[in-house]
Amino acid sequence: MTRPLRRQGRAQPAHDAAIRTLESLIAASAHGDEEAFGQLYDLTAARVYGLVLRIIRDRGHAAEVTQEVYLEVWRQAARYNPSKSTALPWLLMITHRRAVDRVRTAQAGSDRDLRYAEKNVERAYDNTSETVERSLDAQRVRQALGQLTPVQREAITLAYFGGYSQTEIAGLVKAPVGTVKTRIRDALIRLRDALGVNS
């Protein structure tokens, strides 16, 4: 079961003297602390694997890419700079890029058609999806997605959860690339404000 990270953090046993933040777990991993790395995995694997799976849509390949992501995190841990980014955005940036690279190189293109794309758009804010944990955060995200205009929602979903390039999206939604760019940015601004993310 996936729970929001904050609650998992609090659920640490009381004898675990200090509750370790993701940032401190990455710092410890940079020194070769495999136990800290294991904890980092436990706290983040559902989000990493889930995002990869959403983009790649094949469980075997998603597991493989997830493994690559953590290997990269392990290797690059010393270069993670907590003053520049909190841990989860950093980790998911690596995750997203790896998944997108895989799906584009593999050109799973054959079935990356509009019909699938539309299904993917629906799924992003569909409460009945079986793989989605109904956490408060997830509900909040769905509400925020629901506040976007349909074309904004379509653009951000195709880009972030579909892994499509702006050129592919322009083709799918039959709009100029410049329009797609603007829609994605506008969507992110509205989501950022709706979710109260501090930048």
Residue (12 or 108) nearer to another protein, CB: 108
Q: Can you give the three-state secondary structure of the chain, one letter per residue?
A: CCCCHHHHHHCCCCCCCCCCCHHHHHHHHHCCCHHHHHHHHHHHHHHHHHHHHHHHCCHHHHHHHHHHHHHHHHHHHHHCCCCCCCHHHHHHHHHHHHHHHHHHHHCHHHHCCHHHHHHHHHHHCCCCCCCCCCCHHHHHHHHHHHCCCHHHHHHHHHHHCCCCCHHHHHHHHCCCHHHHHHHHHHHHHHHHHHCCCCC
Contacts with another protein in 21-80 (CB under 8 A)?
A: 30, 32, 34, 37-38, 41-42, 45-51, 53-54, 59-60, 63-64, 66-68, 70-72, 74-79
Q: Which range binds another protein by CB under 8 A, 12-20, 109-117, 127-135?
A: 127-135
Residue (41 or 116) nearer to another protein, CB: 41
CA angle 189, 195, 199 (to 5 degrees): 60
Among 26, 121, 124, 173, binds another protein (CB under 8 A): 124
Residue 8 lies near another protein (rule: CB under 8 A): no
Contacts with another protein in 146-185 (CB under 8 A)?
A: 156, 159-161, 163-167, 169, 178, 180-182, 184-185
Contacts with another protein in 86-105 (CB under 8 A)?
A: 86, 88-90, 92-93, 96-97, 100-102, 105
Residue (14 or 68) nearer to another protein, CB: 68
| Residues contacting another protein: total by CB under 8 A | 87
CB of 10 to another protein, least distance (A): 17
